[in-house]
Amino acid sequence: MGESLASLVLGKTPRLAIDMYSFSRFQEGSPLHGAYGIGSIS
């Protein structure tokens, strides 16, 4: 996560997509869903 965020700050494309962590997901009604239920996303 940190490496991907640093890449975005530097204007580079991150190796891993972190779009799912965008704050706009709350407005869009798209919460994170883990494979093993609530609490497993941390």
Quick one: pLDDT at residue 12?
94
What pLDDT, on the 0 to 100 scale, is given for residue 10? 95
Contact between 4 and 18 under an 8 Å Cβ cutoff? The reply is yes
pTM value is 0.51
Complete DSSP assignment for 1-42: -HHHHHHHHTTPPPSS--GGG-THHHHHT-----TT-TT---
pLDDT number for residue 40: 56
Confidence (pLDDT) at 42:
53
pLDDT in tens, 1-42: 889 889 989 999 999 888 888 889 889 988 877 777 666 555
Torsion sign (Cα): 6, 10, 15, 19: positive
For the chain, the domains span 1-25
The predicted pLDDT at position 37 comes to 66
